[in-house]
Amino acid sequence: MNDDDVTVGPLSGPRPGQRAGTPGAGGGEPTGSEEAGRGVPDATVARLPQYLRALTVLAERGTETVSSEALAAAAGVGSAKLRKDLSHLGSYGTRGVGYEVARLVQQISEHLGLTQRWSVVIIGIGNLGHALAGYGGFASRGFGVVGLFDDSPAVVGKRVNGLVVRPLAQFEAAVADERPTIAVLAVPAAVAQRVCDRVVATGVSSVLNFAPVVLQVPEGVHVRKVDLASELQILAFHEQRRAALARAARLVPGAAPAGRGTSGEPEAAAVAGVVR
């Protein structure tokens, strides 16, 4: 089973503290409730922020409509994949015209739950946590940081972006008062599971984990993992492959120059020959 086979519940449906909306209604397109029965693949969900980012840029430029080809190029995906993704949301565009930018921005925002404010707490205010706490882009996207927590005396009591870092011992009481929806973990791997257990015990059901460890959570809790080191390792792999292809091109007369992001069998064979 691949990512495209895995589906999640309708993004347009109500979430904790969220009233049901009607994204996609109007214009003869299927409504959010009509799309709900089909679900949205996880892979599509992962690409929706890319589309929204590209659409936001277009809207800021005053663009009113965009073709699937142009939007796909701006988002870095294929046009067929983009059209399939948007069809899950009930958006099919107009032949010869494309998609209405403003409407599609609203539709994707509704499906992602960005038309309301989500409260976020950050646990671990080291270098990474401090940078996350100071990032100004969260508020414009509907995320409000309402609490910062750490257990280091060197950090507790300091003010970051208008918020005072509180001791982790106060976390449970703060959750009861502020009712955050999402917890961001920027803590060392050795303590990440323990901290996650505390977070989940308070009823927070969405966790963004920056620690290089796989967290075990009960059913109903959703965890997203951001592993910066793994991403760097992937880039290192591609750089190594590009260097190997360049060597192959020098050693094999008439060999094609090193490709950019390709992975065909001839290329792999050339790399294998150089590596051996």
- Rounded to whole angstroms, the maximal C-alpha distance in the chain is 70
129 is in an annotated binding site: yes
Beta-bridge partners for 121 = 147, 183
161 is in an annotated binding site: no
93 is in an annotated binding site: no
Of 70, 71, 75, 104, which is closest to residue 90 (Cα–Cα)? 104
CA distance 75 to 44: 13
CA distance 251 to 247: 6
27 is in an annotated binding site: no
Cα 80 to Cα 118, 152, 253: the distances in Å are 32, 50, 37
Q: What are phi and psi of 150, to 5 degrees?
A: -160, 160
Question: Which two three-digit tokens encode residue 274?
Answer: 């150089």
Of 174, 187, 213, 218, which is closest to residue 200 (Cα–Cα)? 218
Question: Which two three-digit tokens encode residue 230?
Answer: 């793994």
Burial 140-174 (b: 16+ CB within 10 A, else e): eeebebbbbbbbeeebbeeebeebebbebeebeeb
Of 157, 160, 150, which is closest to residue 184 (Cα–Cα)? 150
124 is in an annotated binding site: yes
Whether the Cβ atoms of residue 199 and residue 183 lie closer than 8 Å to each other: yes
126 is in an annotated binding site: yes
Return the number of other C-beta atoms located less than 10 Å from residue 265's C-beta.
7
Binding residues for NAD(+): 124-129
Task: List, as residue ranges, the binding site.
Answer: 124-129
